[in-house]
Structure 1
Amino acid sequence: MSRSARETSYVDYVTARREHLRRVAYALCGDWHRADDLLQTALVKLYVAWPRVRRTGSEDAYVRRILVRASIDESRRPWRRERPTDTLPDRPAAEPTSPEDRSELFAALQALPPQQRATVVLRHWLGLSVADTAAELGISEGTVKSHTSRGLAALRGTLEPSETG
């Protein structure tokens, strides 16, 4: 494959899948700016591996795996544990909030530990099988099932109204 054909096929793929992949990144991290960073990291890594990934036809799986791993890596970084302050620096006006940003589900999803969040997103938002999810995350199918079960239980506990009173 010539360099221009390689780049054309890569650009075509990114153009067609960018918004979907950005939403996947957002579901994993809960912040549009971090989602853009995760997606950029994934797309750079995809470009490097493009000929190999394109031959196998596993573009989406490859990018999802990078997004999940990058999201988990970011959550482990020490600066992620910093606490925000009461006074914020001047910032440009925020973009209008979309329905996705206001979603109670996304807020509850972000409260889950990274591995539970990843399994819930891959299994229930993207509809991957247990086996496919296990392969993407590099964990056993039993671990996928337990993380998914715990994640869904936590979401139910957060989202369902309590029956007291």
Structure 2
Amino acid sequence: MSRWKDTLDALMHERAAALFGYAYVLTGDADTAEDLLQDALVRTFRVNRRSGTVNEAHAYVKRAISTAFIDGHRRTEARPQRHAHDAGDFAGASATTPDHAPAADAHLDLHAAILTLPPRERACVVLRYLDDMPIAAVAAELGLADGSVKRYLSDGVARLRPLVSTLDFPTDSPDTVPVRTRGGTR
């Protein structure tokens, strides 16, 4: 068996659940998350690239998931689909489901709120606050400048606060810098 196949097997054995979870948080739908993960795996391993570690492969696949999600959302907006996923349908599902625990309800509320964010804001918020990555790592993961990530995070958190009032996003992050405006800093 070739080395890339060994890496793929090890990646799926050790990290499949984490990669699927990441795709699920972005999409909000298990079937779409499976498709997104499958596309990312194909994009990553279709070329017979040099075999690396499981950590390198994990990073490649995670980046491919982010890129495919953002590109797919862009394509959907350019050419709307007849049965496009509506985040409002997901939010309404929690009202019909019996409340098993307050924590589960809070997770559903957070997930429904995250699904309302535009793709780049969603990806930045998920990587920064759910994966607990520093801003520089989020920027590297998504191929963005640090300032762009900070802006997406600021906009995303501003949209999430009214929707999920029980959640407090940290504001005194060590990698937060003052945002410059025309009149000075704010």
* TM-score, structure 1 normalization: 0.77
Q: Give the match for residue 87 of structure 1.
A: none
Q: Paired residue for 2:109?
A: 104
Q: What is the distance in 2 between the residues matched to 1:15 and 1:111? A: 32
Q: Structure 1 151/46 Cα, relative in aligned 2: closer, same or farther at 3 Å? A: same
RMSD: 2.8
Question: Are residues 1:72 and 2:70 paired?
Answer: yes
Amino acid at match of 1:147: Y
Structure in which a larger fraction of residues adopt helix: 1
Gaps of at least 5 residues in structure 1 are: 85-95
Select which of 121, 134, 141 maps to 2:139.
134
Which protein has greater RCO, CA pairs closer than 8 Å, 6+ apart?
1
Q: Helix, strand or coil: the match of 1:122?
A: helix
- How far does residue 111 in structure 1 lie from its aligned partner after superposition? 0.2
Shift of 1:150: 1.1
Post-superposition Cα deviations, 1:77-108, rounded to whole Å, max 9, x if no partner, equal 22347568xxxxxxxxxxx99959x7111100
Q: Percent identity?
A: 35
Which of 25, 42, 62 is 1:27 aligned to? 25
1:160 positional shift: 1.2
Q: Which residue of the partner structure matches residue 44 of structure 1?
A: 42
Q: Which runs of 5+ in 2 are unaligned?
A: 86-96, 167-186
1:112 Cα deviation from its structure 2 partner: 0.3
Matched, 1:151 2:156: yes
CA distance 1:73–1:149, change in 2 (3 Å): same
State the one-letter code of the partner of 1:121: V
How far apart, in 1, do the equivalents of 2:18 and 2:121 lie?
Answer: 21
Q: Which moved more, 1:118-127 or 1:44-53?
A: 44-53
Assess, with a 3 A threshold, how the Cα gap between structure 1 residues 124 and 130 changes in structure 2: closer, same or farther.
same
1:157 to partner: Cα distance: 1.1
User: How many Å separate the matches in 2 of 1:105 and 1:67?
Assistant: 21
The 3 A distance-change label for structure 1 pair 8 and 59 is closer
**Offset of 1:18 from its aligned partner?**
0.6
- The letter for the 1-side match of 2:156 is G
TM-score by length of 2: 0.69
